[in-house]
């Protein structure tokens, strides 16, 4: 059985919404749109590649406005280049830190 789904690239507003949830530590189950944003973030910024949601939130809080705007643009570009994303059920729970 195929547990994947195709989605188109999320908007800048959706990216900022996910970043805001990370910054404020909102505990939740991420939907496919949000997971694609987290996946793209990890691909464009290797500082957070293996981080938990809380660690990413801490990292994002430390960014300046210009850095944040640049990161949103990079994530959006990655989403456009890599889309449509296929997310597998196996990647759906990224809140636990993977082994290094």
| pTM over the 0.75 mark | no
Q: What is the mean pLDDT of the chain?
A: 81
Residue 69 pLDDT class (50, 70, 90 cuts):
very high
Domain that holds residue 39: 5-91
Under DSSP, is residue 7 helix (H, G, I), strand (E, B) or coil? strand
What is the total count of domains within the chain? 1
What DSSP state is assigned to residue 25?
Answer: T
Give a yes or no: residue 25 inside a domain: yes
Give a yes or no: residue 74 inside a domain: yes
Q: What gap in Å lies between CA 37 and CA 56, rounded to an integer?
A: 12
Q: What is the pLDDT of residues 19-64, one digit of tens each?
A: 999 999 988 899 988 999 999 999 999 999 999 999 999 999 999 9
Under DSSP, is residue 69 helix (H, G, I), strand (E, B) or coil? helix
């Amino acid at each position: 059985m195929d547990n994947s789904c195709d989605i188109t690239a999320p908007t800048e507003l959706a990216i900022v919404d996910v970043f805001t949830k990370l910054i404020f530590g909102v505990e939740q189950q991420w939907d496919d749109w949000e997971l694609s944003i987290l996946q793209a973030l990890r691909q464009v910024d290797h500082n957070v590649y293996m981080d938990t949601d809380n660690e990413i939130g801490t990292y994002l809080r430390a960014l300046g406005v210009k850095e944040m705007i640049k990161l949103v643009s990079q994530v959006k570009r990655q989403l456009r280049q890599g889309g449509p994303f296929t997310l597998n059920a196996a990647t759906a729970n990224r809140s636990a830190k993977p082994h290094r």
